[in-house]
Structure 1
Amino acid sequence: MHYVSGLKLKPELQTHPGFSRVFQPDKLTFGFIMPLVGYPDSPFPLLEDHQKMAQLADKLGFSALWMRDIPFYDPSFGDTGQVFDPMVYLGFLAAVTRNIALGTAGIVLPLREPLIVAKQAVSLDQLSHGRLILGLSSGDRPAEYPAFGADFDNRAERFREAVNLIHRVTTESFPHIDTKHYGKLKGMLNLVPSPRAGRIPTLIVGRAQQDIDWLAANSDGWIRHRGSFNQLPEIVNTWHQNRPDEYFRPYGYGTFFDLSEDANEPVRQNWGGIRAGRNALIAMWKKHESAGVNHVALNLKTLQRPTEEVLQELAEYVLPHFKND
């Protein structure tokens, strides 16, 4: 089984400002999981330069900024992510950046009211001039579910229903919808505003307790945790072979990341991420690009060096090898 190249984006996504910036067939792009700062020895990042670094990533030509959905500090996980609520933070970043795509990776859908998520998404889509990519997940922190009065055991079923509900209310006018876990719409209400491209591009982040066929049929792409790089070709092949139509659906992964000052330091993998010099990264990511990986989202929590210095080095020495023409 081999990676299928030469596929095309769905017509409505080919000119979508956010999606087409991040995802193109047979191309690899790079973005960042917020915040843009290293905090290897603390669960709490310092956010003094968060606006400046986001604007720098935009200026230097990186493709996306991704927001995690972490409502509480859970000491057993030891990471608060970008601290700010992802939808609120995206609204702020939409106002202070110009071109970089803005995504969620991902909204924990079983803990949120899907109609409110849909309203937030279409609002962000309009305010960012079409740069929003909506990544959705089922969540991996069981302690959060009791706080919301939510059932952890049926999250897979509620996730599927919520994804369908968001899709329908953002693409249909005055829909008739009867849900099991949420509400009812009887054709008397219409969600406004409408998405700029006719719908909101949607990714599934992680597995969300679903099988591959469902992921491919109900999303525009798949973002996973890094996992084993040895398994990447098989995973990407399986993903593309399970597509329900002739259109391209991208595959990407997220990873903790530390850039060595030694440009020739080989890639070192630990439980959650990678550390390497830029030359080893270029060689590795070229292999990943050939295997069909379309996007890498770098989480700088484990970063030891100053963020600005690392962004500049990646932009000068790495990005030119992965031009998205």
Structure 2
Amino acid sequence: MKGNGNSTVTSRNTAHRTVFVPGQLTLGLMTPLDTRAGELADMEAAVRLARHAETAGFSALWARDVPLMIPQGSPSNDAPPQASAVDDPFVWLSLLAGATSRIAIGVAAAVLPLRHPLHLAKAALSLDRLSAGRFILGLGSGDRPEEFAAFGANLDQRAQAFRTRWPLLRAALSADSLQRQVLLEQVGYPVLPPPAASVPMLVVGSARQSLQWIAEHADGWATYHREEATQQGRIGLWQQAQQQKLGTLRKPFVQSAQLQLLEDASAPATPLDLGLRGDSQAVAAYLARMQALGVDHVMFNLGGERPATEVIEQIATEIIPQL
């Protein structure tokens, strides 16, 4: 396919082919794993878990962009707000990329209104090259007023900033010569030589854009776990937006989910805030329903008291084979 100024490009990198497999639902993990609020991740443990996840059959490792340690609470419980100590996602994923060889790595999501698109492009192209094409860039508009104030950015204008910065970043990450013209016209110089295959760009959350805009410009849409009937409706709207903008071309739908996987083989699936709790059969049945609705990839954020290595092994032996 020829580039036309949006997300239709001549080629996509290895990560896109690894994570978005036609007719198959794949699984990813949000990293770091086995950490507590306010504590820095153990790098040696992270490397071991990344290798374990790759061997276990997971398709991707994901990292968040959390610029400041701002305490955050959950609207569904009375627990006190907690702050996350999260390393820069590009640096963190470089560590995981160097420790693995096949699994994709992705940011979900970089806060585009708080990052200059040329800085983002430099980091994304570098990480894509270091990982041999295993990188996916997810982008969001951000929602923490304290961060916008600290960076001197306007919270109320983040939707416009997202749309304005997207084309330059898209051009820099593209392998298509027509798309790259935007970079050369606005900047005059490339960030790095063009990649062998374009780096996929996902919109994470709504980014305060319409689904029609996301369908036209992004390589896929990533959103959050919701009650199944609600999610079915959102997927229907996503498919409708693609039909309006793209015709028969279909782009992936990605969903995150909190997961507490239980050892008890009789435990039914019960809801969590933005996720579920249950045994392997209940989780596998849930994933089968999600695939039937049109979900292509699920990012699990592991919770509970069990060590991550045990949960990864249980998913590998009892859930992934059923997919």
TM-score (norm 1): 0.87
Find 1:86's aligned residue among 85, 89, 97: 89
How much has 1:307 moved relative to structure 2?
0.8
Deviations 1:7-34 (A, max 9, x none): xx97623xx3111111123321110111
TM-superposed CA distance for 1:296, in Å, is 0.7
Letter paired with 2:310 = E
- Map of 1:1-325 to 2, 5 A cutoff? 12-13=11-12, 16-37=13-34, 39=36, 42-44=37-39, 46-47=41-42, 49-77=45-73, 78=81, 80-81=83-84, 83-171=86-174, 172=177, 175=181, 185=186, 187=188, 189-197=189-197, 199-243=198-242, 244-245=245-246, 246-300=248-302, 302-322=303-323
What are structure 1's unaligned runs of at least 5 residues? Answer: 1-8, 179-183
Distance of 2:306 and 2:234 partners within structure 1: 32
One-letter amino acid matched to 1:96? A
Contact 2:113 2:141 in 1 (8 A): yes
Cα RMSD, aligned residues only: 2.1
Instruction: Give how far 1:44 is off.
Output: 3.1
The 2-side partners of 1:38 and 1:263 are apart by 26
Aligned residues: 302
Alpha-carbon distance between aligned partners in 1 of 2:126 and 2:241, rounded to the nearest angstrom: 32
Q: Quote the Cα distance in structure 1 between the aligned partners of 2:149 and 2:65.
A: 16
CA distance in 2, matches of 1:82, 1:25: 36
Contact 1:26-1:290 within 8 A present in 2 as well: no
Q: CA deviation at 1:76?
A: 3.4
Structure-2 change in CA distance of 1:162 and 1:315 (3 Å): same
How far the C-alpha of 1:79 sits from its partner, in A, is 5.0
- Output the CA distance in 2 between the equivalents of 1:126 and 1:36: 25
Work out which structure has the larger RCO, using CA pairs closer than 8 Å and 6 or more positions apart in sequence.
Answer: 1
* Distance in structure 2 (CA, Å) of the matches to 1:216 and 1:34: 27
State the secondary structure of the residue aligned to 1:73.
coil
Cα 1:191–1:177 shift into 2, 3 Å: closer
Counting aligned pairs with the same residue, the percent is: 36
Cα deviation digits, residues 152-203 of structure 1 (max 9, x gap): 000000001111110123335874569xxxxx8353x122132221x21110
Partner SS, residue 204 of structure 1: strand
* Greater CA drift, 201-210 or 302-311: 302-311
- d(CA) in 1 for partners of 2:270 and 2:84? 23
* Unaligned stretches of 5+ residues in structure 2: 1-7, 74-80
More helix by share: 2
Quick one: distance in 1 between partners of 2:202 and 2:274?
Answer: 22
